[in-house]
Structure 1
Amino acid sequence: MNKSFIILVLALTVQVTLGAPRTAVHTSNVISPESGDVNSNQRFDFVEDVYENLQNTVWSKAIYEQASEYLQGVKSWSQSNEKLKESSIYGDLQKHLDNCLNLLKELSANPEDCKKQWSLKKEHDEIRQLFDSVDDAKLRRGWVEKYMNFVTPLRVEVTSAYEKFYSHLTSEVESYLSSANVSSKDELREWLGKFKRQTDHVKKQKLVMELLALFPNERQVLDAKCEVQYSNGL
């Protein structure tokens, strides 16, 4: 199995990127902020609720549990595989596996710890890069098989979780638009129309990015706490 095939396999799994890029929005499409403190108005409450619901969808309990099983499996396999133990990546692999498992243990106690979630993404990407760099097709294939056994069953759960999030988001935007205090409704109505018509999962994710980008002041406050995540990177 060559490296390009591994990259293709990973690209087809559940959002293996380290986080989606920011979406550019023309300033003419940015919804003007309400007067007063950005942290204490209806607009901020709306954006914060969308943000929190998105994070809870991206990082579900099922993902933590199954990620722990997958990484424990990789660790056991690596410690019993003589070729891997003799390889140049073995020491670094054990370090990053231990870091991931420790972070997952901490996240089980505090599942919404955004900084630890970002650290977990980074550590797991190090594991991915190690296997992509190793000059042994059998070892690369061994890890890819274990990784696929982890992400493939999650596809149904992840898709279902996002569908619930999208449904709730639609209702939430409709409710926000119905408020008499909301200004600049045209941009949101236009966004909502596109969102309702869209059926492609990946394109819907992009539209969620576009929605949050319409609220740069509120987004800045939320990103200061911890940058919004559109995928878990595992």
Structure 2
Amino acid sequence: MNKMLLVLGLAITLQVVVSAPRTKVEEANLIHHQGDVSTSDRFDLVEDVYENLQKTVWPKDVYGKATEYLEGVKSWAATNDELGASSIYNALIMHINNCLNLLKELSTDPHNCKKQWSLKHEHHEIRSLFDSVDSAKLRRGWVEKYLNFVTPLRSEIKTNYEHFYTTLSTEVQEYLNGSDQSPKDDIRVWLNKFNQENDYVKKQKLVMEFLGLFPSERQALDAKCEVQYSNGL
């Protein structure tokens, strides 16, 4: 079951190991040591990629669909005697309520990075609780509800990513054609490789590779909100 839940956790899109958003103190220290890199065409390019990637990973309707899914799990938990008597019940309801509260806040503030990270964490706790429960019946019950939620969302996010790839290619080409005098050879090599790649997952990896070409700009952006390659739901 551990393997099954791991696969489900990866189902929406490629997962990467990233840290939580930095504190304001850490952000200030980073900028102090690094200097201001936010006044260049390079920074504008990477910032646009960050913003477009976040919108790709968190489509507008994901919060409503996630709310419907979690309310369904909560209702099921309230009426299922076995789950109600289980050792995970109280913690489960707490994390579901935390998710629902965050989803309500995100519905009016959809690009709030810290709340998105909190939602990822809370939903991971729900997944971990069902992974730990002894009853295979309860695990199957949750997996069924999770799949009903995540399967159509997976398709939607894949479509969003395909649009993101097209936009990214265009933006990078426009940057290369621009007047910025920064070294561009590595970006040209990357774009050629990206445009020739047709595999969806390999393109996701190339997006990570692209962001790695901008270490200073990326650090400045990560200080505000760590880049997100998946929504963790």
If the length of structure 2 is used for normalisation, what is the TM-score? Answer: 0.89
Distance 1:168 1:130 in 2: 39
Please list every run of 5 or more consecutive structure 2 residues that lacks an aligned counterpart in the other structure: 19-34
Tell me if the contact between 1:16 and 1:233 (Cα under 8 Å) persists in the aligned partners: no
1:15 match: 13
Which residue identity does 2:37 align to in structure 1?
V
2:231 match: 232
Distance 1:50 1:86 in 2: 47
Distance 1:233 1:160 in 2: 18
Alignment of 1:62-73 (within 5 A): 62-73=61-72
Distance 1:228 1:3 in 2: 27
2:45 match: 46
Secondary structure of 1:183's counterpart equals coil
Which sits farther off after the overlay, 36-45 or 189-198? Answer: 36-45
Tell me if the contact between 2:106 and 2:112 (Cα under 8 Å) persists in the aligned partners: yes
Alignment of 1:13-162 (within 5 A): 13-15=11-13, 17=15, 20-21=16-17, 37-162=36-161
Secondary structure of 2:155's counterpart equals helix
Q: Percent identity?
A: 61
Which sits farther off after the overlay, 112-121 or 2-11? Answer: 2-11
Distance 1:16 1:166 in 2: 15
Which residue identity does 2:13 align to in structure 1?
Q
Distance 2:8 2:113 in 1: 27
2:30 match: none
Please list every run of 5 or more consecutive structure 1 residues that lacks an aligned counterpart in the other structure: 23-35
Distance 2:46 2:12 in 1: 25
Secondary structure of 1:61's counterpart equals coil
Distance 1:109 1:221 in 2: 26
Deviations 1:151-197 (A, max 9, x none): 11112211111111100000000000001223222100110011111
1:217 match: 216
Tell me if the contact between 1:103 and 1:116 (Cα under 8 Å) persists in the aligned partners: yes
Alignment of 1:192-211 (within 5 A): 192-211=191-210
1:183 match: 182
Tell me if the contact between 2:14 and 2:229 (Cα under 8 Å) persists in the aligned partners: no
Runs of 4+ in 1 over 6 A off after TM superposition: none
Q: 1:111 to 1:8 in 2, by over 3 A?
A: closer
Distance 2:4 2:226 in 1: 31
Tell me if the contact between 2:66 and 2:149 (Cα under 8 Å) persists in the aligned partners: yes
**Paired positions, count:** 217
Which sits farther off after the overlay, 105-114 or 57-66? Answer: 57-66
2:22 match: none
Tell me if the contact between 1:46 and 1:176 (Cα under 8 Å) persists in the aligned partners: yes
Tell me if the contact between 1:121 and 1:233 (Cα under 8 Å) persists in the aligned partners: yes
Which residue identity does 2:116 align to in structure 1?
Q
Distance 1:179 1:78 in 2: 57
Which residue identity does 1:205 align to in structure 2?
Q
